Structure 1
Amino acid sequence: MPSSLRVSEVLAVDQHQGSPVTALTPPRADMQLLMGCQLAPGNEVTLIPGAVRGKGSFGRVVEGVYQGQRVAVKLLPEAHAWGGASLSLLDSFAQEVEVLGRCDHPNVVRLLAACLTPPRQCLVLELMETSLERLLYGQPCGTVLPLRMVLHIATCIAKGLAYLHPTIVHRDLKPGNVLMNDPWGPNPVVKLADFGLARLRITTQPTETPDAGTPSYLAPEGFDPAHCGVITHQFDIYSLAVLMWEMLAGRQPWKGVSLVEVAYKVAQQHVRPPLWQIPEERCPPKLRTLIEQCWDPDPRRRPAAAEVAKCLLIVLQATRAGLDPQTAAEVGHATAKVQPESMFVSEELPRGWDYASYADDPYDDGALGAPARQPGDGKGGAGADDVAEVIQVLTCGAGMLAQKLGV
């Protein structure tokens, strides 16, 4: 095996793994819990006027300054505004503090401080430059991330999941929750964020909200009542597979498909995004096999995050080494041709890839004719009424499904 593959690096994927994070893991000593307006000197959080980084149902994220450094401040709605934050939102914030306050890993965003008491509940997080969502869809149409960048990002995500699993399940892995620094540099920093749906698990036990998350990335067990609400860390592995497909394809999964149709296809028909339409130079056989394993219908058959990270790193090293197909096959990996430009320069879609027809007809088994309603647009999960409707359809069977879809 060529030395450029650096097998020792592959076998030691993550030196930061350490012990699993559990409910018994103490919060980090450098994470501060702030108490309302009674802030100790030096713990003040100063918001930068007009520096809004994002808005959503949770409130908004703005830039600020904390202990002399620029930070991202996640703000809940103020207590006097429309009754303040909902109980579910307060619970989500508390869960994020419980999880992130214990985490210390280079691929997990760092929580610096938190205030969970009125009048201004907030989380103070390290500031990141951009998100994977902006990286994917902020470029000219017809361009995609280069294969080596896709592999680097996926490897970093898998490392972060390997640190969290099995005791922490993220449950909402999607491009908007993957943050990045120096995205076009030689070694982009990639971190998992938004742990409002994450839970610290002591044992495998049912959850009241197995369907929480963004439907386009939701594992089949999240839709299936037969699983009795039991969600394990393999839930995240399925989401990672869909995310890898999205980076390779350069488009959103299940775009324009109704929530009911997504649920039926994923949970009942075992339909997946069309991996076969991505050419080999864009998706080497080893990577293709890995993705198929990661979105296997049976959670028990999906690989662990640490194994995913090792496999991705091997493919990445083979790609960087520029191995020809015959040499790559000898070590069990096929690889794309190395680009002469920098590692992270956006590349055009491969020749022979009919992107127009691919975008118009992404799923080869034909549409069921449901009214278009995008299930996962990066803005958050489905509403309670939508999820209840899906569960009812899956429980009652094909007759009700045909009625809902008008076929």
Structure 2
Amino acid sequence: MKNFQFFKQVSSNGRSRRRLFLGEYKRAVSWSKYLVSPGAEIKCDGEEEWSADMSELFIGNKFASGRYSRIYRGVYKQRDVAIKVVSQPEEDEDLAAVLEKQFTSEVALLFGLDHPNIITFVAACKKPSVFCIIMEYMSGGSLKKYLHQQEPYSVPLNLVLKLALDIARGMQYLHSRGILHRDLKSENLLLGEDMCVKVADFGISCLETQCNNPKGFTSTYRWMAPEMIKEKHHTKKVDVYSFAIVFWELLTSLTPFEDMTPEQAAFAVSHKNARPPLPPECPGALWHLITRCWSRNPNKRPHFIEIVSILKGYSESLNLDPDFFRSFRSSSHRTILHHCLPKCISEPWSFKKTC
């Protein structure tokens, strides 16, 4: 079998054994000090319910990385997984403490989640100065990667709605459990082979009742709501704002505020009420929904339960009638849509007739 390689794992009793792993084995040299041996387990002790049996973990090639983390492909108990390895910087005790807190919070949140549009948590290991989280492997990669492989404005509208609905359903589930994601962006949305989207990366997520301090954490400016940029008190509506930016990405396949630095984008959003320009061909119905979602006033942004209802109605109507959005392309319909949308939520099949 082409490109298959055997590689070694060192078990807890010191004996080595071999296993077949799909794909070329490759390891980042700079991370070798955290591993027992090439392709081996990460040292870990723990009796928590979510603790991994590290003798069952095989680490393969790295496929993504961040400033303090690396993500490897692997096998855990004969299941394809992604392994997020987080290292604590030895020279910065404060940052090390922050990263440990984020790890603990992420595991605590992921452990209790079960939804088809949320990444599935498998197990974790906590052993300073390295932590790892084992999750299901999503073969399609990130939504950001997928969109950047497309021509601008080329994603079919039915697929745009399908992807947006997957994201909204995942976020509705999180919010129903009182969880704020706070870092919703295309890079943190993962695709399966069937183009199912799953929300991932809960490093700075929190329970709404515990998000008391708006300062001291970092997110990504291009997707951040104005109140987060200003470090003001924020609610679940920050995720709704970020969803609107992702929706814009789905429609355009572009990077928001691409002609600005992240800092310039943050200033434009928070002080000038700037938003990325929607394409002229954007259907008026979607224009209305997106502009509501990224409203400056958080109270004017809809909840995800409403967003899911609207998108579901749009998707079903588009499947029945490919020309469903044609009459909504011009801005002259926006006032009409403002009155029609409430009916669409409760009676999606009557939306076209009503408008």
| Alignment-derived partner of residue 200 in structure 2 | 193
**Does 2:230 correspond to 1:220?**
no
| Alignment-derived partner of residue 58 in structure 2 | 47
Paired residues, what number? 287
**Does 2:257 correspond to 1:254?**
yes
| Alignment-derived partner of residue 6 in structure 1 | none
Query: Runs of 4+ in structure 1 displaced over 4 angstroms?
Result: 37-43, 78-85, 325-330
AA of the residue aligned to 2:241 = Y
| Alignment-derived partner of residue 117 in structure 1 | 127
| Cα distance in 2 between the residues matched to 1:278 and 1:248 | 11
| Cα distance in 1 between the residues matched to 2:284 and 2:270 | 26
> SS in structure 2 opposite 1:87?
helix
Q: Pairwise mapping of residues 13-162 of structure 1 onto structure 2 (< 5 A)? A: 36-37=44-45, 44-49=55-60, 51-77=61-87, 86-118=96-128, 120-129=130-139, 130-139=141-150, 141-142=151-152, 144-162=154-172
> SS in structure 2 opposite 1:116?
strand
Indicate how the Cα distance of structure 1 residues 285 and 120 shifts in structure 2: closer, same or farther if over 3 A, else same: same
Aligned-residue offset at 1:306: 1.0
| Alignment-derived partner of residue 25 in structure 2 | none
Does the CA contact (< 8 Å) of 2:221 and 2:263 recur in 1? no
| Alignment-derived partner of residue 278 in structure 1 | 280
User: In the TM superposition, what whole-angstrom CA distance separates every residue of 1:308-350 from its partner, at most 9, and x where no partner exists?
Assistant: 111111111122222545997794359xxxxxxxxxxxxxxxx
AA of the residue aligned to 1:221 = E
Does the CA contact (< 8 Å) of 1:76 and 1:85 recur in 2? no
| Alignment-derived partner of residue 8 in structure 1 | none
Aligned-residue offset at 1:155: 0.6
What is the root-mean-square deviation of aligned Cα atoms in Å? Answer: 3.0
Structure 1: which 5+ runs fail to align? 1-33, 335-407
Indicate how the Cα distance of structure 1 residues 223 and 76 shifts in structure 2: closer, same or farther if over 3 A, else same: closer
> SS in structure 2 opposite 1:144?
coil
Indicate how the Cα distance of structure 1 residues 333 and 133 shifts in structure 2: closer, same or farther if over 3 A, else same: farther
AA of the residue aligned to 1:241 = A
Does 1 or 2 have the higher relative contact order (CA < 8 Å, sep 6+)?
Answer: 1
Does the CA contact (< 8 Å) of 1:36 and 1:119 recur in 2? no
Aligned-residue offset at 1:240: 0.4
* TM-score (ref. length: structure 1): 0.64
Q: Pairwise mapping of residues 307-386 of structure 1 onto structure 2 (< 5 A)? A: 307-325=306-324, 331-333=350-352
| Alignment-derived partner of residue 18 in structure 2 | none
Indicate how the Cα distance of structure 1 residues 101 and 299 shifts in structure 2: closer, same or farther if over 3 A, else same: same
* TM-score (ref. length: structure 2): 0.73
Residue identity over aligned pairs, in percent, reads 30
| Alignment-derived partner of residue 209 in structure 2 | 202
| Cα distance in 2 between the residues matched to 1:213 and 1:289 | 26
| Alignment-derived partner of residue 298 in structure 2 | 299
> SS in structure 2 opposite 1:332?
helix
| Cα distance in 1 between the residues matched to 2:70 and 2:227 | 31
Higher helix share: 2
Structure 2: which 5+ runs fail to align? 1-41, 329-348
> SS in structure 1 opposite 2:245?
helix
